[in-house]
Amino acid sequence: PEIACPSGWDSYHAVCGDALGGAIPTTSRGRSKTGYAGVATYVRIGRRVVAAEEGVTGALTPPERIACGDAVGHYGRMSEAFDRARMLELDSEGRCVLVDLGAFVLFNVYAPSLSSDDEDRERFKLDFLVAVEIRYRALLDAGRRVVLCGDWNVSYGVIDSAVAIEERLMDEALCERNQSRRWLRRQVSGGEGAKGAERDSLVDVFRREYPAARGAYTCWNVSAGAQLTNYGSRIDYFLCDEVTAASVTRCGIAPKHEGSDHAPVFIIIRRGSDCSLKDTGNEGNAVNPLGSSACVAAAGRQARLTDSFFKASARAPNDIWGSAETVGGAVHGMAIANGDDRGYLARPQPALAGVKRKHGGGGAGGAASIKSFF
């Protein structure tokens, strides 16, 4: 596959493919069609990257890289929870990339979605989330800090969903029936479900900063025009350990950034804090083996990744790229909004000139109904 990587950046990515070399059962291989899913994390050249891994289980990382310390490491009880075949299957859809930035380990996550009553797929999603939990807890136990960001394909509470508010779907009984939501609520400290939160709970950075913000959605059924009335859900967010969360100075959403049924989300970490990114001191420093500088995105996708980056001449004076540390591949060329009662909103910046956009629905199957997140 072609991977977009603008000049001046390194990319660390995972794409959907047959990780088992043909050994995946037919039912699973059908879901793992090439091009279905993928994640990419972009790091400015000159920033220090200690290590990077494709996948969350560690099954795709060559043993020699682990042995020589050229891997993120810390796999916890992964091999006890899953056999190798299942680990390879969980990592076969390009749903996670880990990048060790020194100050913290960044998880870029695209959790599986559930659009029908498919018990096998529901089990796959839950196993994937369990693998994420095993990995981040192993890192915390080793004294590391973590930032988990991405599309989690489940909303956390009533306030995070228009359909839940309208139809009052989010009672405790329903939450208990949705295993993905039950998992999420166990991970997050504060707010709904806090009583069930486990040790070393993560912080939902957005909700800590804006606990009462309504209509702060990140995903809509664009094929039905739901974004026009803001009938959506918040399923994209940053989850951090307590120490890293305390260093976040800004977080937000850019709902007007066109080209996808999801809005970009971002956090800013205080420059100079223990959690801020470090320079390599050498812009020509060798890239981690997982890194790539291949340029230009593939055609036929919902939106080109180059849409997310803008020319230097188009930057606004208060552009977040130049004003503070930025974290995560989900930051898409946004400027800080004026402080008001909806201060989490960010204005989109002009994309690269001459790049065509595809508006409307998502992939071949169209955008999922918002009810699928419940």
Per-residue pLDDT of the chain (374 residues; tens, 9 = 90+): 456 677 777 777 676 655 444 433 333 333 445 556 788 898 888 888 999 999 999 999 999 988 888 899 999 999 999 999 999 999 999 999 999 999 999 999 999 998 777 889 999 999 999 999 999 999 999 999 999 999 999 998 888 988 877 766 556 566 667 889 889 999 996 544 445 555 668 999 999 999 999 999 999 998 898 988 999 999 999 999 999 999 999 999 987 777 789 999 999 998 766 665 555 444 444 445 454 332 222 222 333 333 333 333 333 333 332 233 333 333 332 222 323 345 667 654 443 333 333 333 333 344 455 455 44
| DSSP E strand boundaries for 45-161 | 51-54, 96-100, 105-110, 146-151
151 belongs to an annotated ligand binding site: yes
39: Cβ contacts below 8 Å, ≥ 6 apart: 13, 14, 94, 95, 96, 97, 108, 109, 110, 150, 329
Place of tokens 């291989």: 29
The pLDDT of residue 6: 73
297: Cβ contacts below 8 Å, ≥ 6 apart: 2, 3, 4, 304, 305, 306
Residues with catalytic roles: 110, 151, 262
The pLDDT of residue 143: 94
- Identify the CA nearest to 217 among candidates 169, 280, 151, 270: 151
200 belongs to an annotated ligand binding site: no
The span from the CA of 321 to the CA of 32, in Å, is 35
The pLDDT of residue 209: 92
74 belongs to an annotated ligand binding site: no
Residue type at 70?
D
The pLDDT of residue 355: 33
The pLDDT of residue 109: 96
To 10 degrees, what angle do helices 179-187 and 119-141 make? 10
The pLDDT of residue 111: 95
SS3 of residue 327 by DSSP: strand
The domains of the chain, with CATH numbers, are 9-373 (3.60.10.10)
| DSSP E strand boundaries for the chain | 9-15, 38-44, 51-54, 96-100, 105-110, 146-151, 203-204, 219-220, 232-233, 236-240, 248-253, 265-269, 291-292, 325-327, 334-335, 347-348
- Identify the CA nearest to 202 among candidates 245, 236, 248, 234: 245
8: Cβ contacts below 8 Å, ≥ 6 apart: 44, 45
The pLDDT of residue 173: 61
Place of tokens 């950075």: 205
Q: In sequence order, what are the beta bridge partners of 151?
A: 110, 236
The pLDDT of residue 322: 28
Structure tokens at 181: 């939501």
The span from the CA of 343 to the CA of 250, in Å, is 10
262 belongs to an annotated ligand binding site: yes
Q: What pTM, to 2 d.p., does this model score?
A: 0.72
- Identify the CA nearest to 43 among candidates 233, 270, 250, 325: 325
